[in-house]
């Protein structure tokens, strides 16, 4: 893997396996904050949620997870976070990423590294208010939580690089994972993705996207 510096100075990774980068070149941290935090986590916090169950598709660098911990800690919200990753990023690469340096003077380096160092497929307390479990495997052969999540971060590689992840079959899995009233957020707003979401019953919204993208997707599982 190759470390790339995005336009805001934060790192992302290039995957030669998928010929794709993990975050936007316009800024890794701003993209994650806009898509997954502002339109996902903060959206639920503003609705009064005091405890939020999150499922992330594509743990990757762990940027979404550490941003979630930061925001939830400041808001006084308890988080139960589960994530799945088929291709874990090696720890020697993680240690080179500059997120802890950029996020409040390295205050969050220990919990960030703990997420990557903790054992797979087991529950861990990263902080008293942040429960964490990472699943090593594929969506297609792993035991996923059912009717568990209030929020899904759908952060797979783009459809042109990982088309099998954006099908109605996968969206049905996501629908089953959410509780009624739960939401799914993603940086992707391609029509094939929106159609797959609507086909399984989601109500699809298109909020403004992060820098460099016109729109993103937020999908609601109706009550």
Give the start-to-end residue ranges of the domains of the chain.
Answer: 28-221
**What does the pLDDT read at residue 35?**
98
Which pLDDT band holds residue 143 (cuts at 50, 70, 90)? confident
Angle between helices 168-177 and 191-199 (to 10 degrees): 50
**What does the pLDDT read at residue 202?**
98
The model's pLDDT over 116-132, given as tens digits with 9 standing for 90+, comes to: 999 999 999 999 999 99
On the question of pLDDT at 197 being above 90, the answer is: yes
Q: Determine the Cα angle at 7 with ends 16 and 192, to 5°.
A: 60
Give the integer Cα–Cα distance in Å for 201 and 71: 30
**What does the pLDDT read at residue 145?**
85
| Adjacent-strand bridge partners of 144 | none
Sign of CA dihedral 101, 3, 95, 90: positive
On the question of pLDDT at 10 being above 80, the answer is: yes
**What does the pLDDT read at residue 90?**
96
Q: What CATH number was assigned to the domain covering residues 28-221?
A: 3.40.50.150
On the question of pLDDT at 105 being above 80, the answer is: no
On the question of pLDDT at 175 being above 80, the answer is: yes
On the question of pLDDT at 178 being above 80, the answer is: yes
Beta strand 124-127 pairing with 130-136: antiparallel
Give the integer Cα–Cα distance in Å for 118 and 113: 9
Give the predicted TM-score (pTM) of the model. 0.97
206-222: average pLDDT? 96
């Amino acid at each position: 893997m190759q470390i790339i510096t995005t336009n805001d100075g934060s790192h992302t990774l290039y995957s030669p396996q998928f010929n794709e980068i993990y975050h936007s070149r316009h800024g890794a941290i701003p993209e994650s904050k806009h898509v997954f935090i502002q339109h996902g986590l903060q959206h639920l916090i503003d609705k009064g949620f005091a405890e939020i169950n999150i499922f992330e598709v594509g743990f990757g660098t762990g940027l979404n997870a550490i941003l979630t911990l930061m925001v939830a800690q400041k808001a006084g919200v308890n988080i139960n976070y589960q994530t799945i990753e088929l291709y874990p990023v090696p720890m020697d690469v993680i240690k080179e990423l500059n997120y802890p340096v950029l996020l409040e003077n390295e205050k969050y380096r220990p919990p960030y590294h703990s997420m990557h160092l903790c054992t797979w497929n087991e529950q861990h307390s990263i902080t008293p208010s942040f429960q964490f479990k990472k699943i090593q495997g594929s969506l297609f052969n792993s035991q996923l939580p059912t009717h568990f999540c209030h929020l899904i971060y759908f952060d797979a590689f783009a459809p042109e690089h990982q088309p099998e992840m954006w099908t109605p079959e996968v969206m049905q899995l996501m629908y089953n994972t959410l509780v009624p009233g739960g939401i799914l957020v993603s940086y992707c707003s391609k029509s094939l993705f929106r159609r797959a979401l609507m086909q399984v019953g989601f109500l699809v919204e298109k909020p403004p996207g992060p820098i460099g993208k016109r729109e993103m997707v937020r999908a609601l599982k109706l009550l």
